[in-house]
Chains A and B, each alone.
Chain A
């Protein structure tokens, strides 16, 4: 399934809707998956969730990685 459910966010015309974005912060990823933040950092630390870094070093979780995580094995 290609759609990641949106969180209860207010629409912000200056930013693309969460479902349209290519990557998410760790907090957004945790909210989308319904897990706590530490679960995401654990997955990153184990290499089970590949991330990239924004210019200032903030971790970004690609949308494709989140979808991969949700795929049944």
Chain B
């Protein structure tokens, strides 16, 4: 039977360590797959979202609520891409300009991430950067889990536990989290 450690059954200590890591990083295990799913959806729907933004921008009466971004210009919200992140447009001479704008509640500011004359291209650039940010998150999580395990279980080799945890983190969501603890996890980390 396959175990979450794949090559041999986990020891009792490894099981305990894994359960503790899952408990400790529960919020990350919730947020990471949700963020990755949002990027997956965005990448899948770039053409559709871009078209919707083009249509909104081409209407004589500009639609969507207006926000002021950090460039000082007024932007019309077209589509909410993620929590507090919007694809926006604004009229310019001879057409429209598009931007991905993030609202920061703590500062009350709206910051432009990407901008350009082609909505789909702006979205593609944004999606690409989100993938890179997800990679930064993955690397940081790997370091955090190793640190957590080293502090909780000093002197023990917890590498298989760390691998298993990272596999769970990066695979959860793509499998709809249908697998319960201790089932069918294999080793390796990927996004």
Contact = CB atoms under 8 A, between A and B. Distances in A.
B80 to A, nearest CB: 14
Interface string B101-142: 010111101000100000000000000011011101101101
Contact of B129 (A42, A53, A70): A42
Interface residues of A, number: 25
Given A27-B27, A45-B129, A56-B150, A35 B140 contact: no
Interface of B: 27-28, 31-32, 35, 70, 82-84, 102, 104-107, 109, 113, 129-130, 132-134, 136-137, 139-140, 142-144, 146-147, 150
A39 B32 CA distance: 11
B133 A41 contact: yes
22 contacts: A26-B137, A35-B105, A36-B31, A36-B83, A37-B35, A37-B137, A38-B35, A38-B137, A39-B84, A41-B137, A41-B140, A42-B113, A42-B133, A44-B133, A45-B133, A58-B140, A58-B144, A59-B143, A69-B106, A72-B107, A73-B70, A73-B109
Contacts of A54: 143, 147
A46 B70 CA distance: 16
Given A33-B106, A72-B107, A41 B146 contact: no
Interface secondary structure of B, over-half rule: helix
A43 to B, nearest CB: 9
B132 A58 contact: no
Nearest to B137: A41
Interface of A: 25-27, 33-39, 41-42, 44-46, 53-54, 56-59, 69-70, 72-73
A69 B146 CA distance: 29
Contacts of A27: 27-28
A26 B132 contact: no
A34 B137 contact: no
